[in-house]
């Protein structure tokens, strides 16, 4: 099997898995308990929180552990909407968001909130002039992905934050799920930010919501203080510790890993350019980890199935999206619905080998010839 879907899920690093097992064995107590086993567990999770805070340059009190980025996005957007409902019900987002953001916004729209989507330029970045036009005194949230999961475009988060300084009642939520471990990530100027461990070689089931200390969101889970008043329950000590290690490794090794992925991306772009019916949708300014392409007149779902038969794992849109609809992200940059229906994504890793790449290209060539020569 050739795995090229690292943006959907990454294999847990052996060191991270070992950390999880070691802490699970060493800390059987509930971190909320006031006996020695509980104190040991609390010390372990406090150490993990301090490590995460240092790596992300935030305060420990700004860290909320969640089950993953989807929960974090739901928590942030619903919480911010409720917090600011006395100011207004206008929210701005983009057509590039993960379904956990767009789905949450749809739910809020059904509750009477007004949702506007900012225009996307041909390079995949949001149109800042259009954002300024959309902003109103009753705008309470701007929700933007730092790196979108389909094209890999990096959004100008700091520029957006600067614009929002003129709107003190408007909060900025950033989905950094696809950014952590791939590019430097900053919480500066942001009110809430989501991420999850399984995108940077951590374990599934643990994520974070970063929240400014002065934001009093309604608790996601009521019932007690736990590690935070915002999410009650028994802390997942081993998962928190494993996330801290995964994040530490991702940050420390980012330059080396990014260079390896850049070389793999450049190689694929060169080889795929030899096929006349291939269109590369990811702009040149996208992160190298994500390469979105289309094969003319062949639906993305069809090409994906054929590659799967060849033992190659790629994805159509993000793993959490509905099938059968054109990619909103690809349509936004190409303005071509047929092209958006034909799009699919290769996502790369520092673990991707030259053998993987050549095996993919051989399989791609067979599928391309089989699916295009009859058209």
pLDDT digits (tens, 9 = 90+) for 341-364: 999 999 999 999 999 999 999 999
Query: What letter does residue 5 receive in the DSSP assignment?
Result: B
Please determine, for residue 99, whether its predicted confidence score (pLDDT) is greater than 60.
yes
Q: In whole numbers, what is the pLDDT of the chain averaged over residues?
A: 94
* Segment among 174-178, 267-271, 317-321 with least mean pLDDT: 317-321
Helix (H) / strand (E) containing 227: none
Query: What letter does residue 31 receive in the DSSP assignment?
Result: T
- Residue 43's contacts (CB-CB under 8 Å, 6 or more residues apart) are none
Q: Count the helices and strands in the chain (H runs, E runs).
A: 12, 12
Query: What letter does residue 223 receive in the DSSP assignment?
Result: S
| Average pLDDT of span 249-268 | 97
Closest alpha carbon to 274 in 162, 209, 369 = 369
Quickly list H helices, 57-155: 69-83, 99-110, 128-134
Find the radius of gyration of the CA atoms of the chain: 21
Question: What number of CA atoms fall less than 13 Å from residue 185's CA on the CB side?
Answer: 30
Look up residue 356 and give its two tokens: 């993987």
| β-pairing verdict for 63-66 and 171-175 | unpaired
Residue with tokens 């996208």: 286
Q: Are 12 and 199 in contact (CB under 8 A)?
A: no
What backbone torsions phi and psi does residue 116 show, to the nearest 5 degrees?
Answer: -115, 145
Look up the pTM and report it: 0.94
Among the listed residues 27, 170, 313, 320, the single catalytic one is 320
Look up residue 276 and give its two tokens: 């006349």
> Is 367 tagged catalytic?
no
Question: What SS3 state is found at 296?
Answer: coil
Q: How many CB atoms lie within 10 A of CB 122?
A: 10
Question: What SS3 state is found at 344?
Answer: strand
Q: Which pLDDT score, from 0 to 100, does residue 229 have?
A: 76
What are 265-294's pLDDT values in tens digits? 999 999 999 999 999 999 999 999 999 999
Residue with tokens 């919501």: 209
More confident residue, 332 or 187: 187
CATH 3.90.1150.10 holds for 2-9+254-372? yes
What backbone torsions phi and psi does residue 292 show, to the nearest 5 degrees?
Answer: -100, 135
How far is residue 128's CA from residue 162's CA, in Å, rounded to a whole number?
A: 11
Q: Which pLDDT score, from 0 to 100, does residue 324 have?
A: 62
Distances (CA, A) of 238 to 49, 61, 170, 180, 333: 12, 19, 36, 21, 42
Look up residue 111 and give its two tokens: 């509750």
């Amino acid at each position: 099997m050739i795995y090229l879907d690292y943006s959907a899920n990454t294999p847990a690093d052996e060191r991270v898995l070992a950390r999880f097992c070691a802490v699970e064995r060493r800390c059987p107590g509930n971190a909320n308990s006031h006996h020695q086993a509980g104190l040991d567990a609390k010390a372990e999770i406090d150490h993990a929180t301090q490590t995460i805070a240092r790596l992300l340059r935030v305060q420990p009190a700004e860290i909320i552990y969640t089950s993953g980025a989807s929960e974090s996005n739901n928590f942030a957007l619903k919480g911010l909407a409720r917090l600011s409902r006395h100011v207004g019900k206008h929210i701005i987002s983009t057509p590039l968001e993960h379904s956990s953001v767009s789905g949450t916004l749809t739910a809020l729209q059904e509750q009477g909130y007004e949702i506007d989507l900012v225009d996307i330029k041909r390079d995949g970045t949001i149109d800042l002039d259009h954002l300024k036009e959309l902003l109103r005194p009753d705008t309470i949230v701007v929700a933007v992905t730092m790196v979108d999961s389909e094209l890999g475009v990096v959004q100008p988060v700091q520029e957006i934050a600067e614009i929002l300084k003129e709107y003190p009642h408007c909060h900025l939520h950033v989905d950094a799920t696809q950014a952590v471990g791939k590019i430097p990530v900053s919480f500066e100027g942001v009110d809430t930010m989501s991420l999850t461990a399984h995108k940077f070689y951590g374990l599934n089931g643990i994520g974070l919501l970063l929240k400014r200390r002065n934001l009093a969101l309604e608790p996601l889970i009521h019932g007690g203080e736990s590690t935070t008043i915002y999410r009650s329950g028994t802390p997942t000590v081993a998962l928190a510790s494993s996330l801290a290690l995964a994040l530490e490794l991702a940050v420390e090794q980012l330059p080396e890993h990014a260079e390896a992925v850049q070389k793999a991306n450049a190689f694929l772009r060169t080889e795929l350019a030899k096929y006349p019916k291939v269109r590369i949708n990811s702009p040149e300014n996208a992160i190298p980890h994500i390469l979105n392409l289309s094969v003319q007149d062949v639906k993305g779902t069809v090409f994906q199935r054929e590659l799967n038969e060849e033992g190659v794992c790629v994805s159509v849109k993000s793993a959490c999206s509905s099938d059968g609809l054109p990619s909103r992200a690809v349509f936004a940059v190409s303005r071509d619905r047929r092209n958006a229906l034909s799009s699919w994504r290769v996502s790369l890793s520092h673990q991707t080998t030259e053998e993987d790449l050549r095996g993919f290209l051989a399989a791609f060539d067979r599928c391309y010839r089989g699916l295009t020569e009859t058209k």
